[in-house]
Amino acid sequence: MASFSSQTKLEACRVAVRSDCCRRAELYAMMRFCGVIGINRQGVSLTLSTSIEPVAQRILSLVRRVFDAECDIRRVEREQLNRIERIEIALVGEQAREALLACGMLQETDDGGSFFEDGIGYRPMNDCCMDAYLRGVFFACGTMLPPSKGYHLEFVLESAQLASDLCDLLYSMDINAHMTVRKEKNIVYVKESECVLQYLARIGAHNAYLQMEDERMIREIKNDVNRSVNCSTANINKTTNAALKQIRAIEFLEREGVLREQSLSIRQMAEMRLEYPEASLDELAQMMNITKSGVNHRLRKLVHLAALLQGSEE
Ligand SMILES: [Zn+2]
C-alpha cells in the first residue's frame, strides 16, 4: 500500500494546471527543490528525480510546455533500498543552462560571469502561481505523516539557505514553518493543524485534506473523553474545560431541537450539567444517584452527538 505522502502526491498529480505562469511556477519549484546540477566536458546538466511515475510524467510534460524540450529519462533500481525504482529526468547542455537561469539556480553577473545561487532564486508572483509552486515543492521534497499519526508535513533539503528561504516564503502565506537539522539535512516542517490543512488545500489534495479533518474530529472527541475521565474535584481547571465543552454541546443540541428527541436519562443529564456547570463527574454522579461512568457515558454521548451534527471539531 502506498504511503500517505505518495497518495497525496498522486492526488496532486491529477490537478490540471491551466496557465503558463503556474506551469512555470510548479516546474521551477521542482527544479529548485530536487534538481541536482552536474558539470562535465559537455557542459552543465540538471537532473530531477522522483520515485513516482505520474510525477515523472508530469515533469516531462511541464518541461515540454515550458521549455519546448525533451529530456533524457532513466529508471534506476537500487537493490539496497528494497529495489525501489527511482526515475531520473535530465536536461543537458544549453537546455539545462536555460532552465537553471529561469528557475534562478544560476545567476549571471554584470561582468558576464555566472554563479550558482544557494537560495530560492525564482519566486512566484501571482496567487495562482503560489499554489502551483507549493505543489512543486511538495513533489520535490515533501513528506507527511498519515492522519492517524497527527499533523506533520516536512521538506528535506541539502541547503540551509534554501531551507530558510522556504520558511520565509511559507510565512508570507501564513503557513507557520519551523527549521531543524537531522542527519546533516536541513528540515523545514509544519505541524500546526490549520497550516498543514491549508497546504493540502492549496496544492489541490482535497481527499488528503478530508482524511486529515476526519481524523482531527475523532481525536478531538477522544481527548474530550479522556479529559472527562481524568477529572476530579481537586482539578477544577480541567473540570471547567470539559464542562464548558459539554455545555456548549448541550446548548447547541437544544437550539437545533435535537435534545428533546433524546432519551429521558440523556435529557436529565443535560439539565443537570446546565444547572451545575462546575460540578465534577463525581458530584454529578452523587446528585443523580448513578455511577461516575454512567455520567461520563451520557455526557460523552451529548458531546459526540453535537460534534457529529456540526460536522467539525467545534
Ligand atoms: Zn499562475
Q: What is the pLDDT of residues 4-30, one digit of tens each?
A: 999 999 999 999 998 999 999 999 999
Where on the phi/psi map is residue 107: left (φ > 0), alpha (ψ -120 to 50), or beta?
beta
Whether residue 225 is found in the same domain as residue 273:
yes
- Kindly state the cell numbers that stand for 286: 452523587
CATH number at residue 98: 3.10.28.10
Q: What is the pLDDT of residues 144-171, one digit of tens each?
A: 999 888 889 999 999 999 999 999 999 9
Whether residue 137 is found in the same domain as residue 273:
no
The total domain count for the chain is 2
Q: Model pTM?
A: 0.69
Angstrom distance (rounded) from CA 269 to CA 179: 48
Instruction: Give the end of a domain, one of 173, 204, 235.
Output: 204
Instruction: Give the end of a domain, one of 156, 174, 204.
Output: 204
Distance 31 CA to ligand 1 centre (A): 17
Range of the domain at 43: 4-204
The secondary structure of residue 126, as a DSSP letter, is S
Q: What is the pLDDT of residues 68-91, one digit of tens each?
A: 888 888 888 876 656 668 899 999
Distance 219 CA to ligand 1 centre (A): 37
Task: Output the DSSP codes for 96-111.
Answer: HHHHHHHTTSEEE-TT
* Residue found under cell 527543490: 33
Instruction: Give the end of a domain, one of 171, 204, 237.
Output: 204
Whether residue 249 is found in the same domain as residue 227:
yes
Distance 126 CA to ligand 1 centre (A): 6
Return the bridge partners of 115, or none.
Answer: 107
Distance 135 CA to ligand 1 centre (A): 12
Distance 123 CA to ligand 1 centre (A): 12
Distance 22 CA to ligand 1 centre (A): 4
